[in-house]
């Protein structure tokens, strides 16, 4: 056990990719339904999904929720700059714990990080930036961009041959 080599010798063939394409959008379909779509038996679909879960190609199963229905009416991208290098480890360790931070990416460029932040209101955003980022996490500067409308916001990945495929 343990986390030796991450994805040792998994090879994904065209059928695996077809399964992934389906389950990343319709995880509630039965294995029979998936098999019918791609011409595979229930057992074959079952085997392949279990292997891909074991290989961590499939990391888990999630429900896709509507942000608006949960009162999360504001989406913003916040660029973060931290002047003093010694403050970066503490930021990196603590930022992921904020539920309103959906994403945090370390960047190559003018800014240290970009955050994707979901909150109910501008007041909540202001509180997050002022109290959490600047006061507690000692962020030097931020640049916030408000999203007016999301044309696409999907966790689905592009799946094509030529990736880690055979």
Partner DNA sequence: ACTGAAATCAGTAGTAG
Partner DNA sequence: CTACTACTGATTTCAGT
Site for DNA, rule CB under 7 A: 15, 30-33, 35, 39-44, 46-50
Nearest-approach distance from CB 12 to a second copy, in angstroms: 8
Residues between 41 and 60 with contacts to a second copy, criterion CB under 8 A:
55-60
63 near a second copy, judged by CB under 8 A: yes
Distance of CA 3 to the CA centre of its chain: 21
123 near a second copy, judged by CB under 8 A: no
What is the rounded CA–CA span in Å between residue 131 and residue 137? 9
Residue 12 or 82 having the CB closest to a second copy: 12
Nearest-approach distance from CB 134 to a second copy, in angstroms: 18
What is the rounded CA–CA span in Å between residue 37 and residue 18? 9
Q: According to CB under 8 A, which one of 13, 14, 26, 141 is a site residue for a second copy?
A: 26
What is the rounded CA–CA span in Å between residue 142 and residue 140? 7
What is the rounded CA–CA span in Å between residue 129 and residue 143? 10
Nearest-approach distance from CB 142 to a second copy, in angstroms: 13
What count of Cα atoms within 13 Å lies in the side-chain half-sphere of residue 149? Answer: 1
**Binding partner selected for residue 84 from DNA, a second copy, none, CB under the kind-specific 5 to 8 Å limit:** none
Report the 10 Å Cβ neighbour count for 32: 13
């Amino acid at each position: 056990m343990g986390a030796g080599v991450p994805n040792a010798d998994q090879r994904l063939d065209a059928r695996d990719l077809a399964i992934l394409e389906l389950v990343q959008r319709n995880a509630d379909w039965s294995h029979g339904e998936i098999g019918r779509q791609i011409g595979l038996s229930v057992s074959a679909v079952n085997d392949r999904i279990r292997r891909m879960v074991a290989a961590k190609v499939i990391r888990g199963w999630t429900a896709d929720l509507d942000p608006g229905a949960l009162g999360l009416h504001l989406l913003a991208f916040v660029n973060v700059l931290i002047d003093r290098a010694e403050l970066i480890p503490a930021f990196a360790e603590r930022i992921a714990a904020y539920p309103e931070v959906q994403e945090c990416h370390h960047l190559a460029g003018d800014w240290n990080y970009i955050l994707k932040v979901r909150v109910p209101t501008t007041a909540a955003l202001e509180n997050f930036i002022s109290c959490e980022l600047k006061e507690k996490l000692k962020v030097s500067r931020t640049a916030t961009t408000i999203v007016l409308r999301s044309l696409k916001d999907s966790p689905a990945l592009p799946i094509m041959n030529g990736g880690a495929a055979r």
